[in-house]
Chain A
Amino acid sequence: MLRIPCPYCGPRDEAEFNYGGPTHITRPQLSATDTEWSHYLYFRENPKGLYRERWLHFAGCGQWFNVLRDTVTHEIHQAYPMGASGE
């Protein structure tokens, strides 16, 4: 059970959050080829180590935000609002 530092509410238990998958994904132009578009829809990186992802504090402020987490140690290095780019 992670302890996630919500940028709006402070550290809270993982049970209060929903996971939203990887963040900072660039959507291709609508004119992209079918292959490019399918790749955007279905292919995700699954790195061992640092990973930027989205979380929703549904049982708190209801806000989405970004998290930089280590997928090996689960250490959370950063939590920052939507729209920010992180360090």
Chain B
Amino acid sequence: MSAPGPYRLSTARQDERLDFSFDGRKFYGVHGDTVASALLANGVRIVSRSFKFHRPRGIFSAGYEEPNAIVQLHSGAEVIPGERAPLVPLIPGLQVSSRVGWPSRSFDLLRAIDYVHPIFAAGFYNKTFIWPSWHLYEGWIRKLAGLGHAPTGPDPDRYDTCHAHCDVLVIGGGEAGLAAAVSAGSAGQRVLLVEQSNELGTNTQRLRELAQVTVLTRAMAVIYYDHDLVALTQKVSPTLSGESANGALPRERLWLVRTGRVILATGGIEQPLIFCNNDRPGIMLAGAAGQYLRRHAVAPGREVVIATNNDTAYPIACELREAGVDVTALVDAREEVPSHLAAELRALRVPIHFSTMPVDTHGFSGLKSVSLGTLNNRDQVTAVSTLPCDALLVSGGWSPALHLFAQAGGKLSFSELTRTFQPVAPHPSIEIVGDAASPPSGAGAIRVSPVGSAARQWIDLRHDVTVADIELSVRENFVAVEHIKRYTTLGMSMDQGKIGQAPATEVIAKARGMAPSQLAHTTFRPPFVPVTLGTMVGRNVGDFYAPTRRTPLHAIQAEAGALFDDFGSWRRAAAFPHPGESRDAAVHREIKLVRAGVGLYDASPLGKIELIGPDALDFADRFYINNLMTLKAGRVRYGLMLRESGVIFDDGTVTLLDEDRVLLTTTSGGAGRVAQWLEEWRQCEWPNSRVVVAPVTEQWASVALTGQHARKILERLQPECSVSNEDFPHLEFRKTRVLGSEARIYRVSFSGELTYEINVFSHKAPALWAALLEEGREFGIGPYGVDALLQLRMEKGFLHLGADTDGTTVPDDVGFGKPAAAKQRHYIGKRSLSLPENVRPDRLQLVGLRGARTAGIPIGSHLRLPDSGQATDGWVTSTGLCSADGMPVALALLRAGRQQTDKVTTVHDEGRVVTTARVVSRVFYDEPGARMNA
């Protein structure tokens, strides 16, 4: 069986045929093909439509720089948009689509735009679609642009992240890269060699013998971070997509490589020649045609003309001719070339025309002929002739691929000699070798045609930017290359102008009347080539996006039917709905249970930090607005902690466990940052304090037994201490034993009811929980969740930090002005409390609101006082229903709130007045605190 495709040469390896589809039509390729080579072999000339003018476009290159052949793979959730056809290995059954053209890719009625192209010059969108609103046009224009369709579901593939270290990172596995790797490896250095394709250069024998050289194929270096950290993306799964989800291999890997030194053997990117209608299908980079010939035995056409301004096209012409392709002419813009090059080609009977370059091409959907201009010694065209051809191979010289060098901070400038950007000075960590160091094209010659319509000379094929667009932007006073780039969108598409940057620089320079070497280049931003978001994210998706923290009582609460929700990093029981009961109804029932009977609550996430050492209490005292020095052993005190700015940072209790041991509790969300804050001050400000900061949140589970029957139930567990109100009053602490285990019991209350917070080692918590439920059964005990607790505390007017306070709240705003002022000793934040801003009379102060029966008070709604001249006088921070009468009540931060008592505010939500509310005391329940002290 012969290899498939009319453009496949007879020298092709006989192999099994692979079927694939392109825009629904079936084609055949062979193993080793890429999508691009298979399409070329099948004579598919038009692979896409241009972005603006919907002109037909063909495959232009053979690598990552491809501007035209951008295709979409697969369908449904597995869709991969924006793949470059030359980089996609052909696999059986592959679905490829162009996603362009209406009604189809090869017959696109929108090409009508091309015939009115003068309207669509640079800045057209900015000038035209601004009235009345861009959004009116956006959907229609996006449809025209043909940028592919998004996947219809979550990505089924898996991605990995790897970290690596090496002494030398060699980027590029061609001959220069191989030699560099062998040299460094032989010197005993750990080498990582990265190659984008499947294969290395030819001379790999020495390399394989060196154990300290690691080779990564199908990998590209994409980002050069600070301090020589280089990110690589590696394609791993051979099947591209879908199947990797079930298989052992990820689709792609992200490598983060910290290296001592980098050797760039990244080669060059061939630049095009710029002439009229240089975008027709059939026009291709000469180097690309050489690769398709060598790797895939595919001919670029039947009648081939080669146009060059440098030596590199000559060997390709010879190879094509030797493979039996009809090369009808080679034209060279230069007057003369090294004699051996011309001699070889003439021996193969290929005519050569010197001082000649293409000035125009002809055809409608594909290339039919090329007009060649004869240049005089001032690069003016003196005569034009036409040659028929169906393929035109162009070479405008090679630009070294120095993107990573530039990303690393290396400076480049345009060299008039090689007509490309070259390093100005070496980079301390980077060595450049091979073609990347010295372009094989040597000294350059003219590559932009001096004649023909500038509006038909394409610089950026992907974004349809022409020489005329650049000239227009210069006429409109865009001077900097960055501005010209953005105004014309030159080099802003997914190929990021890899092809055409060098000629573009020359065109800009000419339009501005200066030398190209006086121009800067636009920033080479990472990544070097597009990177799949999945590769960046790796495995940190779904459940692995962030760690989930569960309490030691998670399982036992789940068995009891807990409804879990996320509270900061913790997954906690929000409520315990009975079968068929709503969350709201469950919360309502749980509130009643605590107020009228007894409930059980998992308070384990409460932050717990021990300060240990002779200076523990003295150290703690420096952080709180409350005087702790008078705290007696066994006593508990509530306190606020401030930032140096005076703003409230955290709140919690302080317990003197022992003479040299203090326990602080923090908000559940603040446990980490408070411990870090204490440690920062200990290390940086008071290094002589004899104290250790020990976070112990996870060591101790905490169960709150709450309600009027709490004492009777606790007594039944026979703790080794008296729990009577006389022996163990509110705000005291006992170190004791419960159920045979060490226990710390605190009488603190966040609900306003009699509460014992029983702390045991985490692994003992489930047994304690079960025992309390068992002993409490006759009192009707039941668990309650975070939702109920937050309402219980709201009714008591207790602070919920971060909800009732924000990044401006100082103690006086929430009613703690007196203790903050009374404490004589200095504490963190004290000095700032007297700053003018912090004593303004119109500050927001926390107050209570009582609403009307008819409507709730939405959380976050804004308030306005009667006769207010302000847009807002504050906002609602917490809401709920008063358990005594069922009326809506709320806490709010209100302008000069404490002076507004009994005033009626309007409540605004989503731009409407939704209800009114009266300003009252923020304690709605048991103001004297009799119940928690009982």
Report the minimum CB–CB distance from B64 to chain A (whole Å).
24
A62 within 8 A of B: yes
Q: Which residues of chain A are within 8 angstroms of B132 by Cβ–Cβ distance?
A: none
> Do B258 and A41 touch (CB < 8 A)?
no
- Whether A63 touches B683, Cβ cut-off 8 Å, given contacts A37-B832, A37-B835, A41-B645, is yes
Which chain B residue shows the least CB distance to A34?
B835
> Do A30 and B258 touch (CB < 8 A)?
no
Interface string of B696-724 (1 = CB under 8 A from A): 00000000000000000000000000000
CA distance A1 to B366 in the complex (A): 49
Q: Which residues of chain B are within 8 angstroms of A30 by Cβ–Cβ distance?
A: 826, 831
Report the minimum CB–CB distance from A22 to chain B (whole Å).
12
Within 8 A of B (CB), among A1-59: 1-3, 13, 18, 20, 30, 32, 34, 37-38, 41, 54, 56, 58
Q: Which residues of chain B are within 8 angstroms of A37 by Cβ–Cβ distance?
A: 831-832, 835
> Which residue in B225, B644, B676, B683 is a CB contact (below 8 Å) of A1?
B225
> Do B680 and A73 touch (CB < 8 A)?
no
CA distance A30 to B834 in the complex (A): 11
CA distance A3 to B826 in the complex (A): 39
Most buried by A among B644, B645, B683: B683
Q: Which residues of chain A are within 8 angstroms of B225 by Cβ–Cβ distance?
A: 1
> Which residue in B258, B409, B684 is a CB contact (below 8 Å) of A54?
B684
Q: Which residues of chain B are within 8 angstroms of A56 by Cβ–Cβ distance?
A: 676, 680
Chain B interface SS verdict (over half): helix
CA distance A13 to B227 in the complex (A): 10
CA distance A61 to B258 in the complex (A): 21
Q: Which residues of chain B are within 8 angstroms of A2 by Cβ–Cβ distance?
A: 226-227
> Do A64 and B832 touch (CB < 8 A)?
no
> Do B644 and A41 touch (CB < 8 A)?
yes
Report the minimum CB–CB distance from B599 to chain A (whole Å).
38
B201 within 8 A of A: no
Report the minimum CB–CB distance from A9 to chain B (whole Å).
15
> Which residue in A13, A38, A54, A58 is a CB contact (below 8 Å) of B676?
A58
> Do A64 and B680 touch (CB < 8 A)?
yes
Q: Say which size band chain B's interface belongs to.
A: 20 to 34
> Do A64 and B831 touch (CB < 8 A)?
no
Q: Which residues of chain B are within 8 angstroms of A1 by Cβ–Cβ distance?
A: 225-227, 229, 256
Q: Which residues of chain A are within 8 angstroms of B258 by Cβ–Cβ distance?
A: 3, 13
A77 within 8 A of B: no
B103 within 8 A of A: no
Q: Which residues of chain B are within 8 angstroms of A18 by Cβ–Cβ distance?
A: 676
> Which residue in A34, A41, A82 is a CB contact (below 8 Å) of B683?
A82
Which chain B residue shows the least CB distance to A65?
B683
Which chain B residue shows the least CB distance to A41?
B645
Report the minimum CB–CB distance from B595 to chain A (whole Å).
43
CA distance A49 to B226 in the complex (A): 16
Report the minimum CB–CB distance from B175 to chain A (whole Å).
32
> Do A41 and B684 touch (CB < 8 A)?
no
Report the minimum CB–CB distance from B617 to chain A (whole Å).
22
Which chain B residue shows the least CB distance to A30?
B831
Q: Which residues of chain A are within 8 angstroms of B832 by Cβ–Cβ distance?
A: 37, 41
Report the minimum CB–CB distance from A52 to chain B (whole Å).
13
Report the minimum CB–CB distance from B680 to chain A (whole Å).
6
> Do A82 and B645 touch (CB < 8 A)?
no
Q: Which residues of chain A are within 8 angstroms of B683 by Cβ–Cβ distance?
A: 63-64, 82
B687 within 8 A of A: yes
Report the minimum CB–CB distance from A4 to chain B (whole Å).
9
Report the minimum CB–CB distance from A63 to chain B (whole Å).
7
- Whether A74 touches B836, Cβ cut-off 8 Å, given contacts A3-B258, A56-B680, is no
CA distance A83 to B258 in the complex (A): 31
Which chain B residue shows the least CB distance to A23?
B684
> Do B687 and A82 touch (CB < 8 A)?
yes
> Which residue in B229, B644, B676, B831 is a CB contact (below 8 Å) of A3?
B229
Interface string of B661-687 (1 = CB under 8 A from A): 000000000000000100110011001
> Do B227 and A3 touch (CB < 8 A)?
yes
Q: Which residues of chain B are within 8 angstroms of A13 by Cβ–Cβ distance?
A: 229, 258
CA distance A73 to B258 in the complex (A): 17
Report the minimum CB–CB distance from A40 to chain B (whole Å).
9
CA distance A33 to B910 in the complex (A): 44
Within 8 A of A (CB), among B389-419: 409
Q: Which residues of chain B are within 8 angstroms of A38 by Cβ–Cβ distance?
A: 835
Q: Which residues of chain A are within 8 angstroms of B228 by Cβ–Cβ distance?
A: 3
Within 8 A of A (CB), among B551-609: none
CA distance A37 to B646 in the complex (A): 12
CA distance A38 to B835 in the complex (A): 8
> Do B687 and A83 touch (CB < 8 A)?
yes
Q: Which residues of chain B are within 8 angstroms of A34 by Cβ–Cβ distance?
A: 834-836
CA distance A43 to B627 in the complex (A): 31
Which chain A residue shows the least CB distance to B838?
A34
CA distance A15 to B687 in the complex (A): 26
> Do B227 and A74 touch (CB < 8 A)?
yes
CA distance A41 to B679 in the complex (A): 20
> Do B684 and A82 touch (CB < 8 A)?
yes
CA distance A34 to B676 in the complex (A): 28
> Do A20 and B680 touch (CB < 8 A)?
yes
Which chain B residue shows the least CB distance to A13?
B258
Q: Which residues of chain A are within 8 angstroms of B676 by Cβ–Cβ distance?
A: 18, 56, 58
Report the minimum CB–CB distance from A61 to chain B (whole Å).
11
CA distance A1 to B408 in the complex (A): 12
Which chain B residue shows the least CB distance to A64?
B683
Q: Which residues of chain B are within 8 angstroms of A20 by Cβ–Cβ distance?
A: 680
- Whether A64 touches B684, Cβ cut-off 8 Å, given contacts A30-B831, A37-B832, A38-B835, is yes
Report the minimum CB–CB distance from A29 to chain B (whole Å).
9
Report the minimum CB–CB distance from B424 to chain A (whole Å).
16
Q: Which residues of chain A are within 8 angstroms of B679 by Cβ–Cβ distance?
A: 62
- Across the A-B interface, give the 8 residue pairs with the lowest CB-CB distance, nearest first: A3-B227, A1-B229, A1-B225, A64-B683, A74-B226, A30-B831, A2-B227, A64-B684
What are 12 residue pairs bridging A and B, where the CB atoms are less than 8 Å apart in the complex?
A1-B256, A3-B228, A13-B229, A30-B826, A30-B831, A41-B645, A54-B684, A56-B680, A64-B683, A74-B226, A82-B683, A83-B687
- A3-B258, A54-B684 given; 5 more Cβ-contact pairs under 8 Å: A1-B226, A1-B227, A34-B836, A64-B680, A74-B227
